[in-house]
Amino acid sequence: MAPSVIMCVVLCFGSVLLPSVTGANIWMIMTLGSRSHKNVFDPLIGELGARGHNVTFFNPFPGRGPRKGVKEIIFPRGNELALQLGADMWRQEGKASGTGGLLKSLIYACKESCKAFFEWDEFQPYYKGLKGKPDLILLTLFNQPCLLAIPHKLDVPFAFISPHGLFPSNYRSIGLRPSPSFMPHPVGFIDTDRMSFTERASNTLMWHILTFAFDWYSGSWMDAFLTEQNGGQPLTAHEVMKEASLFITNMAPAFDFPAPSLPVIVHAGGMHCRPPQPVAQEFEDWIKKGKKGFIYFSLGSAVKGTDMPEEFRGMFLNAFKKFPEYQIFWKWETEQMDGVPPNVKLSKWMPQQDLLGHKDIRLFITHGGLLSTQEATYHGVPVVGIAIGADQMLNMKKTEKGGAGLALEWGSLTEEKLVNSIKRHKDIRLFITHGGLLSTQEATYHGVPVVGIAIGADQMLNMKKTEKDGAGLALEWGSLTEENLVHSIKRVLEEPSKFDVVDSSFRENLARRSAIMKDQPETPLERAVFWTEYVIRHKGAPHLRSAARDLTWYQYHSVDVWGFLISCLVLIILLELWILRTCFRLMCKSGGNSGAKKSQSKKKKSE
Q: Could you tell me which residue, 237 or 476, shows the higher pLDDT? A: 237
Residues in contact with 91: Cβ distance below 8 Å, sequence separation at least 6, in sequence order: 101
Per-residue confidence (pLDDT) for residue 57, from 0 to 100: 97
Decide if pLDDT at 599 tops 70. no
Average pLDDT, the chain: 81
106 band by pLDDT with thresholds 50, 70 and 90: confident
Per-residue confidence (pLDDT) for residue 254, from 0 to 100: 66
Decide if pLDDT at 233 tops 90. yes
Q: Which residues pair with 140 in a beta bridge?
A: 161
Q: Could you tell me which residue, 239 or 377, shows the higher pLDDT? A: 239
State which of 422-426, 472-476, 547-551, 598-602 shows the largest mean pLDDT: 547-551
Decide if pLDDT at 596 tops 70. no
Q: What is the mean pLDDT of residues 103-132?
A: 90
Per-residue confidence (pLDDT) for residue 606, from 0 to 100: 59
415 band by pLDDT with thresholds 50, 70 and 90: low
Per-residue confidence (pLDDT) for residue 1, from 0 to 100: 47
- Looking only at the bridges linking them, the beta strands covering 25-29 and 136-140 are parallel
* 382, 510 contact by CB (below 8 A): yes
Per-residue confidence (pLDDT) for residue 24, from 0 to 100: 94
Burial class from Cβ neighbours inside 10 Å (0-12, 13-18, 19+) for residue 203 reads buried
Decide if pLDDT at 556 tops 80. yes
Strand arrangement, sheet containing 70-74: 70-74, 54-59, 25-29, 136-140, 158-161, 247-249, 265-267
Query: How does DSSP classify residue 280?
Result: P
Per-residue confidence (pLDDT) for residue 477, from 0 to 100: 72
Per-residue confidence (pLDDT) for residue 503, from 0 to 100: 38
441 band by pLDDT with thresholds 50, 70 and 90: confident
Decide if pLDDT at 43 tops 80. yes
Q: What is the mean pLDDT of residues 416-429?
A: 57
pTM value?
0.81
Per-residue confidence (pLDDT) for residue 517, from 0 to 100: 85
Integer Cα distance of 121 and 248 in angstroms: 29
Q: What is the mean pLDDT of residues 342-367?
A: 90
* 315, 414 contact by CB (below 8 A): yes
Tell me which CATH code domain 23-272+521-567 carries: 3.40.50.2000
299 band by pLDDT with thresholds 50, 70 and 90: confident
- Sequence letter at residue 241: M
Query: How does DSSP classify residue 369?
Result: B
Q: How many CA atoms lie within 13 Å of 555's alpha carbon, on the beta-carbon side?
A: 8
Flag the least confident range among 52-66, 265-279, 492-506: 492-506
Per-residue confidence (pLDDT) for residue 96, from 0 to 100: 38
pLDDT in tens, 494-519: 655 444 433 346 667 777 888 888 88
Per-residue confidence (pLDDT) for residue 426, from 0 to 100: 41
Q: Which long-range contacts (CB under 8 A, 24 or more apart) does 127-132 make?
A: 127/153, 127/154, 129/154, 132/25
Per-residue confidence (pLDDT) for residue 13, from 0 to 100: 43
- Sequence letter at residue 565: L
Integer Cα distance of 509 and 398 in angstroms: 12
* 406, 476 contact by CB (below 8 A): no
From residue 251, how far is each of 143, 259, 299, 401, 405 by CA, in Å? 18, 12, 20, 19, 20
Flag the least confident range among 228-242, 377-391, 497-511: 497-511
Flag the least confident range among 158-172, 179-193, 524-538: 179-193
Q: What is the mean pLDDT of residues 293-317?
A: 83
Per-domain residue ranges of the chain: 23-272+521-567, 281-518
Name the residue among 437, 422, 427 with its Cα closest to residue 372: 437
Flag the least confident range among 26-40, 52-66, 82-96, 108-122: 82-96
State which of 99-113, 186-200, 433-447 shows the largest mean pLDDT: 186-200
16 band by pLDDT with thresholds 50, 70 and 90: very low
- Looking only at the bridges linking them, the beta strands covering 327-331 and 431-433 are unpaired
Flag the least confident range among 17-31, 158-172, 540-554: 17-31
Flag the least confident range among 41-45, 55-59, 296-300: 296-300
> Three-state SS across 336-356?
CCCCCCCCEEEECCCCHHHHH
The phi, psi pair for 406, rounded to 5°, reads: -130, 150
Percent of the chain, pLDDT > 90?
37
Integer Cα distance of 394 and 398 in angstroms: 6
Decide if pLDDT at 109 tops 50. yes
Per-residue confidence (pLDDT) for residue 340, from 0 to 100: 93
Strands (E), 30-79: 54-59, 70-74
Decide if pLDDT at 278 tops 70. yes
- Counted residue by residue, the chain has a size of 607
pLDDT in tens, 162-182: 988 887 778 888 989 888 999
Burial class from Cβ neighbours inside 10 Å (0-12, 13-18, 19+) for residue 67 reads middle
Integer Cα distance of 295 and 365 in angstroms: 8
